Chains A and B, each alone.
Chain A
Amino acid sequence: SQQGEEDPQALSIQEGENATMNCSYKTSINNLQWYRQNSGRGLVHLILIRSNEREKHSGRLRVTLDTSKKSSSLLITASRAADTASYFCATDGSGYSTLTFGKGTMLLVSP
């Protein structure tokens, strides 16, 4: 299966701390995307990293991709209570398949 697996399943931190979430996948990809979801709402696209990229930044977000290890990480720096949400990685297989999502990491940022 192409499915991404996020780790940890849940993460609880204090405001101001950094949060790191990891994603592992099984087969070759074209790109990997990260999404966030507030409780019971739709997903919001955060960042897309292509298979030939190793690192990408967007505001307080930093994403890395290691295709040799088939893994990615999402770092949120200086977290805020508003960052509380579930975070999902999604992979787009090398055969140009549609996205496959993992089960997500639930992040709780306490004031």
Chain B
Amino acid sequence: ETGVTQTPRHLVMGMTNKKSLKCEQHLGHNAMYWYKQSAKKPLELMFVYNFKEQTENNSVPSRFSPECPNSSHLFLHLHTLQPEDSALYLCASSHRDRGYEQYFGPGTRLTVT
């Protein structure tokens, strides 16, 4: 256990569905991240939040909408996804958004049908 939890662990959704991924950290960290991991590709950073403020958005399509209500919780709202969005979505947290080791959750395996 790394102190970062993600729910659900597995999600299958159709292209017209709306769903949300949840991440919670119990480490007292101030920065949280969403990553996408697809087969045979490097880990892709999607969003970064530092003290609840979004500090990075790496040209992610608008069908992915992050929300960070406080430093302990991070959501990724999904709507009208495409099959190529199927991947492992990883949440991470760290003390600050620069220069510190990151602690990862177990991930949500998303399949878009």
A41 partner residues in chain B, CB cutoff 8 A: 106-107
B102 partner residues in chain A, CB cutoff 8 A: 43, 45, 99
Is the Cβ of A101 less than 8 Å from the Cβ of B105?
no
Give the docked Cα–Cα distance between A99 and B58 (Å): 13
Distance of B3 from chain A, by nearest CB (Å): 11
Is the Cβ of A103 less than 8 Å from the Cβ of B106?
no
Is the Cβ of B42 less than 8 Å from the Cβ of A101?
yes
Is the Cβ of A92 less than 8 Å from the Cβ of B43?
no
Is the Cβ of B98 less than 8 Å from the Cβ of A92?
yes
Known A-B contacts A40-B109, A44-B2; A103 and B99 likewise in contact (beta carbons under 8 Å): no
Number of interface residues of B (CB under 8 A): 25
Give the docked Cα–Cα distance between A97 and B107 (Å): 23
B98 partner residues in chain A, CB cutoff 8 A: 92, 96-98
Chain B residue nearest to A9 in the complex (CB):
B40
Give the docked Cα–Cα distance between A44 and B107 (Å): 12
Is the Cβ of B42 less than 8 Å from the Cβ of A42?
no
Task: Mark contacts of A47-89 with chain B using CB atoms, 8 A cut-off: 1 yes-contact digit, 0 otherwise.
Answer: 0100000000000000000000000000000000000000010
Residues of B75-113 contacting chain A, CB below 8 A: 88, 90, 92, 97-99, 101-107, 109
Is the Cβ of A48 less than 8 Å from the Cβ of B101?
yes
Known A-B contacts A3-B42, A42-B4; A98 and B107 likewise in contact (beta carbons under 8 Å): no
A residues with a Cβ closer than 8 A to B are: 3, 30-31, 33, 35, 40-45, 48, 88, 92, 96-104
